[in-house]
């Protein structure tokens, strides 16, 4: 196995940055966006940014050049999308339950609103109708359904599991639709994928057709949700395009996709510093980045991210060697990379390197743009990582750093 690593890591100026830091690679982000834009054009579909995965709004003007809008999970994401993506882009919102005191504000922001149940639709139907009749922003409403089928292996991430609260199951849908409760709704939404390929989408659609019957005759749009890892090498783009074009023939509806991870896949890093070594078996490398605070999916999924070791300037001198982390026992130096919190399980994983990590070295984790900044926390008072941007010429700039006041202000009165 080669210890000199992937070109992107060597290309980016990560050896001397302040840590911990998320670093967003604009060049890779543009590559992903261009591919998604090509898919949308070939399939005549619309693609939305799922903000639940990536909401670094400094990049929204760039994303807006390629995508049609955003998918939001509630009021704050919808506001962020409208403010930062612009009026000309669609804002969709779905929530398992809408709060009365937030609903009115949502009416002035969104273009598409998805309801989680017929009861929710009944509750808010008149308010949406009154809003549309007032001449304001016209809102198209739809219903989320639960396909009752998925191939997601981790139950925590499976919205189609039997006990799911996310979407109407087939028996309820068929009964209530027959009773006329679908009247006024214009679209359907479902989500049953997680980092999966187009063949899985095909099988999900087969299950939906079988369980839910004919598509509504007057359906204007169909949202296939997220989990389509379109920008991962090996994804069957041609198959996806065929599936979407077939759906358009069946439904005569606009088809939406709302990927999150695919948009920023492999477009971000988390740079950390080695702050200490602890003699355990294997030795523990204590970093200033934490799994539980800064990359919680490492523990929730769970998975072990790819990483690289960049020796400190004092150790490497003028050399620019970067060492790949590998599974345990691949290289001579086996260690566990751990966080600085009191949580015993704050362990990122066991790795081996061809060079021993020492205090002052950097460890860089890859694919850290998605589900990190949107999910991180300050448990134990651990500072949030800074957010940095690397432009297409390789210049790095700071977008945001987080200080003590950012930690304190979340927890109580500011004294005003």
Angle in degrees, 0-180, between the axes of helices 198-212 and 237-251, rounded to the nearest 10? 20
Q: Please state which CATH class domain 44-264 belongs to.
A: alpha beta
Residue 2 has pLDDT above 50, yes or no: no
Does the domain spanning 7-24+267-408 belong to CATH 2.40.37.10? yes
Question: Does residue 39 contact residue 67 with C-beta atoms inside 8 Å?
Answer: no
Looking at the chain, the domain(s) classified CATH 2.40.37.10 span 7-24+267-408
- Tell me, what's the pLDDT at 413? 84
Residue 114, SS3 per DSSP: strand
First to last CA, the chain: 58
Its sign, for the CA torsion 385, 388, 390, 394, is negative
Q: What is the pTM of this model?
A: 0.94
Instruction: Using pLDDT thresholds of 50, 70 and 90, give the confidence band for residue 291.
Output: very high
- Tell me, what's the pLDDT at 135? 83
- Tell me, what's the pLDDT at 14? 83
- Tell me, what's the pLDDT at 3? 45
List, for residues 355-392, the tens digit of each pLDDT value.
999 999 999 999 999 999 999 999 999 999 999 999 99
List, for residues 244-270, the tens digit of each pLDDT value.
999 999 999 999 999 999 999 999 999
Residue 1 has pLDDT above 60, yes or no: no
If phi > 0 it is left, if psi is from -120 to 50 it is alpha, else beta; for residue 292 that is alpha
**Share above pLDDT 70 across residues of the chain, in percent, rounded to a whole number:** 96
- Tell me, what's the pLDDT at 137? 87
Looking at the chain, the domain(s) classified CATH 3.20.20.10 span 44-264
């Amino acid at each position: 196995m080669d210890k000199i690593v992937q070109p992107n890591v060597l290309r980016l100026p990560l050896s001397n940055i302040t840590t911990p830091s998320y670093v967003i690679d604009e060049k890779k982000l543009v590559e992903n966006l261009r591919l998604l834009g090509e898919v949308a054009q070939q399939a005549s579909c619309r693609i939305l940014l799922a903000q639940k995965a990536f909401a670094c709004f400094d990049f929204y003007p760039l994303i807006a050049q390629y995508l049609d809008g955003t998918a939001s999970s509630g009021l704050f994401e919808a506001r962020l999308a409208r403010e930062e993506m612009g009026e000309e882009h669609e804002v969709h919102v779905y929530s398992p339950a809408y709060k009365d005191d937030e609903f009115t504000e949502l009416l002035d922001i969104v273009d598409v609103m998805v309801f989680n149940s017929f009861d929710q639709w009944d509750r808010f139907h008149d308010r949406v109708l009154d809003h549309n009749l007032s001449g304001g922003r016209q809102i198209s409403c739809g219903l989320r359904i639960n396909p009752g089928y998925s191939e997601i292996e981790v139950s925590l991430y499976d919205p189609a599991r039997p006990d799911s609260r996310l979407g109407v199951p087939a028996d309820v849908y068929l009964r209530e639709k027959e009773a006329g409760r679908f009247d006024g709704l214009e679209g359907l939404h479902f989500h049953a994928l997680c980092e999966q390929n187009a063949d899985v989408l095909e099988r999900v659609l087969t299950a939906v057709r079988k369980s839910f019957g004919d598509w509504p005759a007057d359906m204007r749009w169909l949202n296939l949700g997220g989990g389509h890892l379109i920008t991962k090498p090996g994804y069957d783009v041609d198959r996806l395009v065929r599936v979407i074009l077939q759906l358009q023939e069946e439904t005569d509806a606009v088809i939406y996709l709302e990927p999150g991870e695919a948009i920023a896949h492999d477009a971000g890093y988390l740079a950390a510093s080695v702050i200490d070594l602890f003699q355990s078996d294997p030795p523990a490398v204590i970093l200033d980045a934490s799994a539980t605070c800064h990359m919680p999916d490492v523990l929730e999924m769970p998975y072990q991210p790819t990483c690289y070791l960049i020796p400190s300037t004092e150790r490497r001198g003028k050399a620019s060697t970067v060492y790949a982390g590998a599974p345990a026992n691949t290289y001579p130096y086996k260690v566990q990379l751990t966080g600085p919190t009191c949580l015993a399980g704050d362990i990122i994983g066991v790795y081996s390197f061809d060079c021993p990590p020492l205090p002052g070295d950097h460890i860089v984790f890859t694919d850290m743009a998605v589900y990190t900044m949107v999910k991180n926390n300050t448990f134990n008072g651990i500072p949030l990582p800074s957010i940095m941007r690397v432009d297409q010429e390789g210049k790095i700039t700071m977008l945001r750093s987080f200080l003590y006041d950012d930690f304190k202000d979340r927890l109580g009165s500011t004294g005003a």
